[in-house]
Structures are given as C-alpha cells and as structure tokens.
With several copies, the nearest count.
Chain A
Amino acid sequence: MRTADLELDLDVFAGPFDLLLAVVLREEISLLEVELGAIVLAYLEHLDEEGELDLEAATEFLVLIAALLELKSRLMLPTEEEPELDLGPEEAADELLARMLEYRRYKDAGEELSRRFARESPYLYRSAPLPIELRRISLEASRQAYDPDRLGVALGDLLTPPPAVDTSHIRPTVSLERRLDVLRDLLGRSARIDFDDAFGGEDRLTQAVTIFALLELHKKGEATWSQERNFGAIEIRGQRTEDRGQIGAGRARS
C-alpha cells in the first residue's frame, strides 16, 4: 500500500493521507489543528497490521510527516526575529515542495548512475606492477617539483582552530517553577496583569514557559486569563476564593 493511501480518522479530518496534505496546502484545514502524533500512531498501527516493513513506503512516510512537522513548527513560531524563517504558510509549503523536488532530482540521478555502473562493470582494467626495468627511477634524475612553503601553509592551517561555534541561538534553560513563582508573586501584588506589560520584554522561550505556567495556575484554579481577539492583549486575573467556579479560559496566541 502506498503511504498516500493511509486512511486517517482524526478529529478534524477523515480520509487518505495525501488528501490531508492537499487540504493543508489548500488551507482548508489549519495545520495547527491537525494532531501529527495521531497520524504517526495510525501509521504504526497500519505497519502492525501489514506485518512487514516496506522500506520505500516507510521512507516516503517519513519524508512527508517530516515536511508536515517542519511546516507546522514554522506556523507556530513567531517570525519577526529570523528573516530566513519569515515565510508565510504558502511560501513555506512551496519551499518544502522545492526541497522534495531537489531530493528527487538526485535520487533519480543516483539511479541513473547505478545503471551506468552496472553497464560498465564487465569492462575490467589491468592493474599490474610495472616491469622491473621501468620501476627503477634514479634519484639523481628527479628534480624539484613542489614548493616547500606548501607544507608550511598546510601545517599553519592545521594549527588554526576552527571558528568558535555560534551559540547565541541557544538560550539558557527557563524553569517552570521559577515562572510559577514570578506569576504568583505578581498576582499577590496586583489582581490584574497585562501579559505584554509584564513579560513583553522577555525572550521568546521565557514567554512560552510563562504561558505554560499560566496553564498550570489555571488548572489549579489560581488564575484565569483571557484574550479578546487573536494577537490581542492577554489579561491575567488572580482567582480569589469567591471567584472560583467561574472559569473563563483564554486562548493563547499560538
């Protein structure tokens, strides 16, 4: 069975896998709503039923699911800081398509090379040492052919350590506990907090972990939060005992 025909039954979509890819490309379904994990599970189930691994199909599946994952992660990341990631879903889809086509080009070229290799392999070449009278090379007859500086340059290159790896994109770990403490501290001092006022200056990872901490507070009934519209301000309210029971869960930006 082709990977494309893998039958899916997800919350937002029922049908074959390649149709899902098509409706995502067409933006009939937001990829954000598609649980990619469920697709992987469906595929694993299918493999189980099949009983044997079709490598070709498995590769195809991996390439497709990886493309979807990359597309989805692009959609989830704000893009203002990284121009090379600053692609709309349309361009991202096109870029992924281009990458898959580039891969196919070399895959097909490789197949052509394999055919050529098989066609040429019956031609055998001689590999025998030269007859003894041709092997003797007099040292005196040889002349300078190389510049000794070539050796110095090569050694100098080997002495040069490689440029330090740029680690500026690796951010320090942000602890959930610490973000919980910060939120509780702020809510202790003020009943309402505007997310952007309080955390807008933090880096992206810190903001994300703070959102996660908010979910935790919401679950424990310590706070609620709301957002009037997409990309609007997020307001956080501390939950006093008398307010509990009135849940107004907000939606985060992503």
Chain B
Amino acid sequence: MNGSAAELARTVEALLFLAPDPVPVGELIDACEVSEVQIRNALDLLAEELAPGRRGIVLREVAGGWALATDPGAEPAARRLLARPKTPPLTAAQAETLAIVAYLQPVSRPEIARIRGVSSESGVQTLSERGLIEEAGRSRFGAVIYRTTELFERLFGLNGLEDLPDVTKFDPTPEDAAELRERLLEAGEQRAAP
C-alpha cells in the first residue's frame, strides 16, 4: 500500500488492532508493502496520536514488536464489564449438552452427539469456554471426554454432584429399570432415525 504517512498510520493502527500479539516491524513492512523508513514514520505518527491521556488505547513497544493496549485508567470499568463469569441464559442445545455431561460424566463428545441426535461441537465448545465443563482425559478410543467444573457447581448452586436434581422427577418413564446412559442412547438413536 502506498499513500500519505497519515494513511499508512491508519493502516498500521488497523493491523495492530486486529493482531492478538505484538507485531514485529518486519511484518508490518511486508503487510503494508512499504519501506522500513515509511513504517517508522507511521509508527511515530501513531505514537503521537495515541499518546497516553489522548485516547482510550495507547501504542506500546514491547518485546517482539508493537501492540495496542488499553489506557490503565479504564481498568476498573473493564473489570466490571468483562471480569465476571459469563452467565447468559443457556440455549436449549447448551442445556441438553450440559445435562448429558452433568449426569453421565465422564462422557465423550461422540456419545453426546449420539444422544442428542445432532453434532454437538459448538455446544461443547461454548460450555468449555464459559468454564462450565472441562476435558477429563481421553476415552480408550481416543475421544476427548468431559466433566463438569467447580464453577459449574457454583453457578448452579450445587454443593456437589450428588446435589443434582433426582432425574426420576423428570423421567417420562421412571419405571424403566435400564441404565440411564443406555436409555438416553436409545432415545437418541430413535430421534436420529429418519
């Protein structure tokens, strides 16, 4: 990219905004297709625009390259906004997945998918990211297996897994003596059948 120093400074700002890690000058040169002098000038210009106290974000030179960071003054607000467990309402898919992990743990992802009758990748991923479930090793077939976390118990107000509600209360056929896991797998296969 060519153009004025101001335009280049804008592009560099955009690049540093997107990059999750500090960007070395060499990579900025390649990405912008300009000379090192031009990049240095653009960084100087950007440093001036993002001087501490002027904006909500500042330019930092750290080990490994250049990065944008938030102004320290915003930290208390950032903590209020972001540093808390994410507890948006569970979607139906998440509730189903979480119930399976909670009652059957440890349980593998293929098992979860068989019971639900649909691929459950994104549900498992979201629950992991929110810290409600975690990996608990691998099954003998190599599939990752999952269990619930302490945070899960905390967010559901449970003192332990034995505090989970008695499933017979919600069971449409509580008289069925077969094991819960077998029954769930069977119902799941019926749902998946055309």
Q: Is the A/B pair a real complex?
A: yes
Q: When A103-B117, A145-B87 are in contact, do A155 and B103 touch as well, CB less than 8 Å?
A: yes
Name the CB-closest residue of B to A19: B187
A113 to B157, CA, bound (A): 10
| Cβ contact within 8 Å between B151 and A142 | yes
Binds B, one of A44-52, A76-84, A124-132, A171-179: A124-132
Name the CB-closest residue of A to B97: A110
Q: When A155-B167, A162-B142 are in contact, do A113 and B95 touch as well, CB less than 8 Å?
A: yes
A123 to B185, CA, bound (A): 44
Contacts of B183 in A (CB 8 A): 22, 159
A163 to B141, CA, bound (A): 7
| A109 vs chain B, min Cβ distance (A) | 4
Residues of A in contact (CB 8 Å), total 71
Max chain A C-beta neighbours (<10 A), residue from B19, B75, B90: B90
Contacts of B140 in A (CB 8 A): 163
Contacts of B98 in A (CB 8 A): 110, 113, 151, 154
Interface string of B157-194 (1 = CB under 8 A from A): 11000011111011111000100010111111111100
| Cβ contact within 8 Å between A103 and B87 | no
Binds B, one of A114-122, A214-222, A239-247: A114-122
| Cβ contact within 8 Å between A158 and B18 | no
A234 to B185, CA, bound (A): 37
Q: When A101-B172, A123-B69, A155-B170 are in contact, do A23 and B117 touch as well, CB less than 8 Å?
A: no
| Cβ contact within 8 Å between B184 and A25 | yes
| Cβ contact within 8 Å between A114 and B90 | yes
Contacts of A107 in B (CB 8 A): 92, 96, 99
| Cβ contact within 8 Å between B171 and A125 | no
Contacts of A124 in B (CB 8 A): 14, 18, 69-70, 74-75, 78
Residues on B lying within 8 angstroms of A by beta carbon are 14, 17-20, 58, 60, 67-70, 72, 74-75, 78-79, 82-87, 89-90, 92, 94-100, 102-103, 115-117, 131, 138, 140-142, 150-151, 154-158, 163-167, 169-173, 177, 181, 183-192
Of all A-B residue pairs in the complex, the 8 with the closest CB atoms, nearest first, are A156-B170, A110-B95, A26-B188, A122-B72, A144-B157, A162-B142, A145-B87, A128-B20
